[in-house]
Amino acid sequence: MTMRLLVTGMIFLQCACWAAASEDNGSTTIVLGAADITSGHLCGNIIKKAYRRMGIDAQIKYLPAARSLALSSQGSLDGEVSRVFSVGERYKTLVRVPASYLSFHGKVFTLKPSVKVNKPLDLKNYSSGILNGIVYSEKLTQSYRRIYGNSASQLFNMLIADHLNMDLVILTEVTGRTAIALEFPNAGIKMAEGNLMDLPVYHYLHESKKALLPKIEAVIRTMLASGEIEAIKESFINNYTGGHEK
């Protein structure tokens, strides 16, 4: 009980510090949450640059996906760097910026040649490893066997160890490819050719910050039209995987 109270107090103190940082410079600082996975870091780079154009310093807190979403929806953080469309339907305190600025591909990764997933319905035949707090993979597997992990590395380690007879892992192509290239290049993990889902992602603001929405939407649309976002994405992936992918 004492340890639980200590941990709760530390989390509260950390959130208070973030809130203070957000207020120090008035409207010139915003504190956003992002999933601490490769795709989250990519999106963080994009959104940070977008706010810089507005004269705002966007501080990104990379956290476990579920925790980031909880803190953002509570208002302890000012919003989410990137989430799928359905998050705005589920969390009414989060306001979606209408412009989708990236699209990821949900993919199956496996070691087992017998695993054949050509469409989402095929997942019913297997035990899937998914990231805790990632909404799209939770929806894909909501009626099927699934095992939660807190990072791509943890999921791939469980896959290699055949933990609880895990058959496959569901991640975005970017997160899966970079994790394999950097940490598991010789493990034999294969990415399926087909996409489980195409995942347009959106920036979300807590309702207390919705006055920023028109300006950040305009900046994102300008960056999309100029090709800047695509260039950031390609540079990011090349920096992660260059010379490592097999």
Q: What DSSP line would sit under 54-72, residue for residue?
A: TT-EEEEEEE-HHHHHHHH
Tokens standing for residue 174: 């970017």
Residue pair 211/56 in contact (Cβ under 8 Å)? The answer is no
Distance CA 135, CA 151 (A): 14
Instruction: List CB contacts of 230: < 8 A, sequence separation 6 or more.
Output: none
Residue pair 189/180 in contact (Cβ under 8 Å)? The answer is yes
Q: What is the pTM of this model?
A: 0.82
Q: Say how many residues make up the chain.
A: 246
pLDDT digit string, tens, across residues 231-240 = 999 899 888 7
What's the pLDDT score for residue 241? Answer: 76
Residue 158 CA to chain centroid, in angstroms? 20
Q: Report in angstroms the alpha-carbon separations of 118 from 115, 156, 241.
A: 10, 21, 26
What's the pLDDT score for residue 219? Answer: 98
Residue pair 115/125 in contact (Cβ under 8 Å)? The answer is no
Distance CA 235, CA 118 (A): 30
Residue linked to tokens 């919003």 = 79
Residue linked to tokens 């989410």 = 80
What's the pLDDT score for residue 10? Answer: 45
The C-alpha R_g of the chain, in whole angstroms, comes to 19
Distance CA 163, CA 153 (A): 13
Residue linked to tokens 């941990």 = 7
Low-confidence ranges of the chain (pLDDT < 70): 1-27, 243-246
Residue 50 CA to chain centroid, in angstroms? 18
Residue linked to tokens 């004269």 = 55
What's the pLDDT score for residue 244? Answer: 56
Q: Which of 29, 106, 104 is nearest to 61 (CA)?
A: 29
What's the pLDDT score for residue 12? Answer: 45
